[in-house]
Chain A
Amino acid sequence: MSFISYLINGISLGSVYAIIALGYTMVYGIAKMLNFAHGDVIMVGGYVVLTIVTGMGLSPMVGILAAVVACTVLGVVIERVAYKPLRNAASSLAVLITAIGVSYLLQNVALLIFGADTKSFTSVVSVPAVVLAGGALTISGETIVTILACIVIMVGLTLFINKSKAGQAMLAVSEDKGAAQLMGINVNGTIALTFAIGSALAAVASVLLCSAYPSLTPYTGAMPGIKAFVAAVFGGIGSIPGAMIGGILLGVIEILGKAYISSQMADAIVFAVLIVVLLVKPTGILGKQVQEKV
C-alpha cells in the first residue's frame, strides 16, 4: 500500500515538473535557447496571483488571468530587450548567459518589492481530494487539476503547432530560420509569439506549483526551473509529449528514490538515472535522433 501511495505522491510532484517543463521545452524547441529565466517568470506569476487574490481579495480566476497577462508581457519584453539582440551572435552561449542575468534580475527585483520572507499561498484549486482505500490513499485536488491541465496543454500545444498557421510557422522557424524568412515567415514575430506562449504557460505553472506547494519566496522558481529543465531533457528536449513524460518520471523517481534508497541522496539518484537514460538514449526518451552530415 505504501508503494502505491509513494507512486501517487511521485505523480503529483512530477505533474508540477511536467507543467513547467512544457513551457521550457516549447521555447527550446523553437528558439533553440535554454531560458534559465523561465523559473523566475513562474515566481513572478506566483506573486501576481498572491497580490491579486490575497492582497486585493479578488477571485482566483481574476488572479490567474492577471498572472497570464503579466507573464506574457514580461516574457515578450525579456525576449525583445535581452535575447533578440543576441539572436545572431557568434555563439549561442551568449544568450544563455543573458538569460542567467535576467534570472538574477527578476529574483532581485522580487526581493526588493516583496521582501525575503516566505509568503504562504492559498490554494486556488477548489477540487476536493479523492480518498481511496479507506483513507490510506489520498489524491489531492491539486494533483488532479495539475495532471488534467498538463494533458490539456499538451494536446492543445500539439494541435496548435501541427494544425494552425502560426504553429506551422514555428515549426519552420525551428527547422531553418533563413529558409523560413525566405518563405515569407515573420521570424521575429514567430519567436516573440513562442515566448508569449511559453510565459503564459509559466503563469499557469506558477498557479499550480504554488497551490500544490504553498510557499513563495523570490527564489521559489530557481530549483523547480532547473528540475524542469532536467525533465525536459529527460523526455527529449523540444518534444512536447516528452516534457510531460519526463516531468512525471522525474517526480516518480525522486519520490521512490527518497523512499527506498536514501532521503539524503534523492538528488544524486535523480541525476544518476538521468545520466543512465541519456547514455542509453542520447537524445532523451522521445527526442529525435538528428543524423549528422559532413
Chain B
Amino acid sequence: MKKLKQAAALLAAASMVVASLAGCGNKTAETAAPEEAQGSAEGTWKIGGIGPTTGGAAVYGLAVKNAMELATKEINEAGGINGHQVEISFEDDEHDAEKSVNAYNSLKDWGMQMLVGTVTSAPCTAVVEKTHEDNMFHLTPSGSAVESIKYDNAFRVCFSDPNQGVASAQYIGENGLASKVAVIYDSSDVYSSGIYEKFAGEAANQDFEIVAAEAFTADNKTDFSVQLQKAKDAGAEMVFLPIYYTEASLILKQASTMGFAPKFFGCDGLDGLLAVENFDTSLAEGVMLLTPFAADADDDMTKKFVAAFEENYKDTPNQFAADAYDAMYTIKAAVEKANITPDMSVSDLCDAMKTAMTEITVEGLTGTITWTADGEPDKDPKAVVIEGGAYKAM
C-alpha cells in the first residue's frame, strides 16, 4: 500500500513538472517572436528593472521600482522618448545573484531592450556578465562595487564605493572635522566594506587617525553596544558610518542611551534616516553625510519629485529612488542624443548608447552628471548636516 501512495504522490508531482515545463514551452513560443524580430513591433521602449522587492533588502528595490514607475509616467505624459512610449517591467531578485540572473532572463523573455539595475552590488556583478554577453545596455542606479560595471556596456548613476570612501576621508581631513575617528561598518556587506577599505587607505594620507574599526554582520545587527563602547574607549571624536540608515538609526539610539555623543559622519546610505517612520530625529542632530541627494533640498526638481513620490507611494523617497529616477532620465537623454528608435536590435541600441553616454550631461536629482567611458559618473558629492530635523548644506 505504501508503494501505491508513493506512486500516486510521484504521479502528482511528475504531472506538475510536465505541466510547468509545457507552460514554459508555450510561453516562450509567444515571447520568442519579438526577440527574433529584434525590437518590439508597437514601437515602445521596453526597459527592464531588477532589484529586491522581497527579503531583507526589499526597501531598496521597492524604492527603485517606484521611482522608475514615476519617471516613466512623467516621460510618457510628455510624449515618450523620441516619440515612442516607454514600458517598464520590474523583476524581483531577493538580493541574490542567482535569482538576479533568473530575473534578467525573465526580462529578456519579456523583450527588454535596456536594463536599469540591479539595485544591489553583488547581484549586479553577476548580471553584468550576462548583459555583456548579450551586449545589452546596462545602467545600474545603485550597484556601487567596482566589478558591478566592469564591461563597457555598463554604467552607473551612484558613486562607486572607492570614490565614496576616498571622498569621505578627504572631506574629514581637509575640513579638520576630527583628529580621532572610529569606523563602524558591516563586514558582510559589499557596499559597506568597500567604502571602509578605501576610507582607511586614504586616511593614511590625511591629518586624522583611525582609532577603532569595528565590524558587524548581517546576522548580528541589533546590538551595537560593543562597537560603540570601543569607539568611546578609544577616545573617538567622530564615528564614520559607511552603512545603511536602518542600522544607523539603531546605532544613534544606542549611543544616546550610553551617553556617547561624538560627531557622526556617513555616506549616501545614511540618506533616508530622517524618513524612518516614527524615528526620533533629535537623535540624528548633527549627523553629517556626503550624499548626492537630500529629500528636503529646496530646488524645484527635488521638490516636484518628492511631492509626486509621496503622493503616489505614501513614502519619502530615499537616495535609491533618486538614483533610479535619474537613471530613467539618463536613458532618455542618451537615447535622444544617439537618435535611436525602438525597432533597432538590442545590440545596436547598446552600441549607440555607449557612445551617447559619454557625450551627455544630465541635470538630475543627484547633481549634474557626466560619464566616462568606463561607466563611472562624474558628479560632486554634497556634504549635508542634519539640523533641527532637516538637512542643511555644509
- Which A residues are within 8 Å of any B CB, using their own CB? 2, 5-6, 9, 13, 50, 54, 108, 111, 115-122, 129, 135, 138, 140, 213-215, 217-219, 223-224, 254-255, 258-259, 263-264, 266-267
Q: Within 8 Å CB of A213, what residues of B?
A: 222-223, 250
Apart from the given pairs A111-B54, A120-B249, A255-B223, 4 other A-B contacts in the complex at a CB distance below 8 Å: A2-B229, A2-B233, A50-B278, A140-B257
Q: How far is the CB of B69 from chain A (nearest CB, A)?
A: 15
Interface string of B55-78 (1 = CB under 8 A from A): 110110110000000000000000
Q: Within 8 Å CB of A267, what residues of B?
A: 217, 219-220
- Please determine whether B58 and A116 come into contact, CB atoms closer than 8 angstroms: yes
**Whole-angstrom CA separation of A108 from B92 in the bound complex:** 13
Q: Pick the contact of B56 from A122, A217, A254 — CB < 8 Å? A: A217
Decide: A119 near B223, CB < 8 A? Known: A2-B229, A214-B250, A215-B246.
no
- Please determine whether A266 and B259 come into contact, CB atoms closer than 8 angstroms: no
- Please determine whether B217 and A266 come into contact, CB atoms closer than 8 angstroms: yes
Q: How far is the CB of A264 from chain B (nearest CB, A)?
A: 4
Chain A to chain B: the 6 pairs with minimum beta-carbon distance, closest first: A116-B58, A120-B279, A9-B225, A116-B59, A120-B278, A258-B226
Q: How far is the CB of B80 from chain A (nearest CB, A)?
A: 30
Q: How far is the CB of B336 from chain A (nearest CB, A)?
A: 34
Q: How far is the CB of B245 from chain A (nearest CB, A)?
A: 8
Q: Within 8 Å CB of B233, what residues of A?
A: 2
Q: Pick the contact of A9 from B53, B215, B229, B278 — CB < 8 Å? A: B229
17 A-B residue pairs with CB within 8 Å: A13-B223, A13-B225, A54-B278, A115-B62, A116-B59, A117-B62, A118-B246, A119-B277, A120-B278, A121-B278, A140-B257, A217-B59, A219-B55, A219-B56, A254-B220, A258-B227, A264-B187
- Please determine whether A118 and B276 come into contact, CB atoms closer than 8 angstroms: yes
| Interface presence of B13 (CB below 8 A) | no
Tell me the number of A-to-B contacts counted with CB atoms below 8 Å: 101
- Please determine whether B276 and A117 come into contact, CB atoms closer than 8 angstroms: yes
- Please determine whether B276 and A135 come into contact, CB atoms closer than 8 angstroms: no
| Interface presence of B197 (CB below 8 A) | no
Q: Within 8 Å CB of A5, what residues of B?
A: 229
- Please determine whether A138 and B226 come into contact, CB atoms closer than 8 angstroms: no
Q: Within 8 Å CB of A258, what residues of B?
A: 220, 226-227
- Please determine whether A120 and B277 come into contact, CB atoms closer than 8 angstroms: yes
Q: Within 8 Å CB of B280, what residues of A?
A: 120, 122
Q: Within 8 Å CB of A116, what residues of B?
A: 53, 58-59, 61-62
Q: How far is the CB of A111 from chain B (nearest CB, A)?
A: 6
**Whole-angstrom CA separation of A221 from B153 in the bound complex:** 41
- Please determine whether B253 and A118 come into contact, CB atoms closer than 8 angstroms: no
Q: Within 8 Å CB of B246, what residues of A?
A: 118, 215, 217
**Whole-angstrom CA separation of A30 from B187 in the bound complex:** 40
Q: How far is the CB of A19 from chain B (nearest CB, A)?
A: 14
Q: Within 8 Å CB of B230, what residues of A?
A: 259
- Please determine whether A138 and B259 come into contact, CB atoms closer than 8 angstroms: yes
Q: Within 8 Å CB of B220, what residues of A?
A: 254, 258, 266-267
Q: Within 8 Å CB of A121, what residues of B?
A: 278
Which of chain B's residues has its CB closest to A123's CB? Answer: B253
| Interface presence of B315 (CB below 8 A) | yes
Q: Within 8 Å CB of A259, what residues of B?
A: 226, 229-230
Interface residues of B in 266-283 (CB under 8 A from A): 275-280
Q: Within 8 Å CB of B61, what residues of A?
A: 116
**Whole-angstrom CA separation of A6 from B278 in the bound complex:** 29
Interface string of B199-239 (1 = CB under 8 A from A): 00000000000000011110110110111011001000000
- Please determine whether A9 and B223 come into contact, CB atoms closer than 8 angstroms: yes
| Interface presence of B11 (CB below 8 A) | no
Q: Within 8 Å CB of A118, what residues of B?
A: 59, 245-246, 249, 276-277
Which of chain A's residues has its CB closest to B5's CB? Answer: A90
Q: Pick the contact of A263 from B54, B58, B227, B277 — CB < 8 Å? A: B227
Q: Within 8 Å CB of A115, what residues of B?
A: 59, 62, 315
| Interface presence of B14 (CB below 8 A) | no
